[in-house]
Amino acid sequence: MQNELYYDVAVIGAGTSGLYTALSLTDDYATTGGYACKVAVFSKKSVLGCSSALAQGGIAAVLDDKNDRFDLHYNDSLIAGGFENNPAALRVLVESAPDEISRLVKYGAELDKDRDGNYSLGLEGGHSRRRIVHVKDRTGLAVVNALWAAANARDNIKVFENAPVSDIIKGDGYYAVCTGTTLVYAKYVVMATGGIGKLWKYSTNSDIATGDGIYLAAKLGADIKQLSYIQFHPTGFKGGTDGRVLLISEAVRGDGGILLNGDYERFMDKYDSRKELAPRDVVSRSILAEQNAKGNDKFYIDISHKDPDWVMTRFPFIYGEVLKNGYDITREPIPIYPCQHYLMGGIAVDEDGETDTANLFATGECACTGVHGRNRLASNSLLEALVFPHRIADTIKKRGFDVPVIKDIAPPRVTDTNENIEAIQELMQKAFFVNPNIELCKQGYNTLDDTAISFCAKRIFEELING
């Protein structure tokens, strides 16, 4: 190693949860005994290359006291999650939402408002009330840009872009984070590395979502659970090229979009009384059931019955991206199909985001707080990426920033997160797409080793095979 740097906290990942952690740690210089916390944030590629920046819908929060209540948001989340949610963590998530939205705005996020100056609240699948704050259909990008600008304005936050972490070594009271030719020492490490979408051939996730943060946490002794709790979004755009799938936001259905089969017939009423507003897992399974019934894998979402100017104003990004591929959402149905979208499991943490390994925390999609249960309610993910980073920061600040004594450490390992990725993607797409094929899972398990992406795939297969 050529360079050695010293920080109090190393945050691995620079999406919403990573940047929000850094800002929460350094609010008012995050003084503990008069000491200003120094935070290093590592971005695998550019900051805007994170999956957070791709989030479209918004952030779920009870902000309309006249028409909404915490218990309604809580119950909607339980229903969507198959009642497998962690009740205590879910209560924290829901009840912390209004305060975190206020903090987010103070950091510079400009959320859409109506003519009366109130937040414009959207409706999405699984929600019983309008409670989604948003920035048109690019909420994630607006949030990341605001947080990144706020972080860059603080001299005790350093964001390292294009700095993939290849190893983390646990010392006596400290961690050594390895990236390139640099070794960064820190008392605390916060994993905020996102999901595992690149295990699948078709996913809405950024290319950085390879599960390496989960792999590194496991190597440090952290418990990993529920990696097989995968959400397949029902409306990935099917008219583009191979690679990352363009998401057609849940908000399109919330604002009146209807689903059609290959005969251009509406079909969701055959499978669920909530129709298009059923939770994502229900809609994805319904699409596959309709495919089997009809022998046709063509499906569409249609919002062309709405005023074209309104559609282009509400969904400018989706309108523009789909138009590039020859479809006009204001004039015609557009082809969609389910694809991998989100991980509910991950690095096991408590309600303060801490793992069972001392001073190792995790937050965002790589963490398993239990708030989502088996299936995430729409727009609870960006909320989770605000609530638990704040709690992590509070826990760390209370614990203090005494400087550990650095001793010799073992040489770093090299974590290859792209080994044989195409073969793994083909395997996962066939073995586990919406409904798992257990026989293919068993066959695929024997072809995998324990490195990065293969590690995560193997753990998924283990959980599915063992029930």
**Residue 143 shares a structural domain with residue 255:** no
Give residue 453's pLDDT band: very low, low, confident or very high (50, 70, 90): confident
**Residue 328 shares a structural domain with residue 350:** no
Mean pLDDT of 346-364: 98
Average pLDDT of every residue of the chain: 93
Q: Is residue 174 part of a domain?
A: yes
The predicted pLDDT at position 412 comes to 65
Q: What does the longest C-alpha to C-alpha distance in the chain come to?
A: 69
**Residue 304 carries which DSSP code?**
T
138, 244, 253, 280: which is the annotated catalytic residue?
Answer: 280
**Residue 118 shares a structural domain with residue 196:** yes
**Residue 277 shares a structural domain with residue 368:** no
Q: Domain containing 159: what range?
A: 3-229+344-399
Its sign, for the CA torsion 58, 63, 69, 70, is positive
Quote the percentage of the chain above a pLDDT of 90: 87
**Residue 196 shares a structural domain with residue 322:** no
**Residue 334 shares a structural domain with residue 351:** no
The predicted pLDDT at position 29 comes to 57
**Residue 295 shares a structural domain with residue 150:** no
* pLDDT tens string 257-293: 999 999 999 999 999 999 999 999 999 999 999 999 9
Whether 444 shows a pLDDT value over 50: the answer reads yes
CATH number at residue 300: 3.90.700.10
**Residue 166 shares a structural domain with residue 297:** no
CATH number at residue 384: 3.50.50.60
Whether 3 shows a pLDDT value over 90: the answer reads no
CA distances from 264 to 225, 290, 294, 319, 444 (A): 41, 12, 12, 21, 37
Final residue in a domain of this structure, among 340, 356, 384: 340
Q: Is residue 415 part of a domain?
A: no
Q: Is residue 359 part of a domain?
A: yes
pTM of the model: 0.94
Q: Is residue 283 part of a domain?
A: yes
Cα 418 off chain centre by: 20
Domain count, the chain: 3
Quote the percentage of the chain above a pLDDT of 70: 94
**Residue 157 shares a structural domain with residue 57:** yes
Give residue 421's pLDDT band: very low, low, confident or very high (50, 70, 90): confident
Whether 30 shows a pLDDT value over 50: the answer reads no
Give residue 241's pLDDT band: very low, low, confident or very high (50, 70, 90): low
Q: Is residue 416 part of a domain?
A: no
Q: Rounded to an integer, what distance in angstroms lies between the CA atom of residue 192 and that of residue 21?
A: 9
Q: Is residue 102 part of a domain?
A: yes
CA distances from 267 to 233, 253, 255, 259, 330 (A): 17, 14, 18, 7, 21
Q: What does the block give as tokens for 401?
A: 């920033």
Other CB atoms within 10 A of residue 116 CB: 5
Give residue 404's pLDDT band: very low, low, confident or very high (50, 70, 90): confident
Q: Is residue 30 part of a domain?
A: yes
Mean pLDDT of 130-152: 97
**Residue 52 shares a structural domain with residue 149:** yes
Whether 31 shows a pLDDT value over 60: the answer reads no
User: Is 280 an active-site residue?
Assistant: yes
Mean pLDDT of 161-167: 95
The predicted pLDDT at position 36 comes to 81
Q: Is residue 405 part of a domain?
A: no
Final residue in a domain of this structure, among 318, 340, 362: 340
**Residue 143 shares a structural domain with residue 192:** yes
**Residue 372 shares a structural domain with residue 458:** no
Give residue 243's pLDDT band: very low, low, confident or very high (50, 70, 90): low
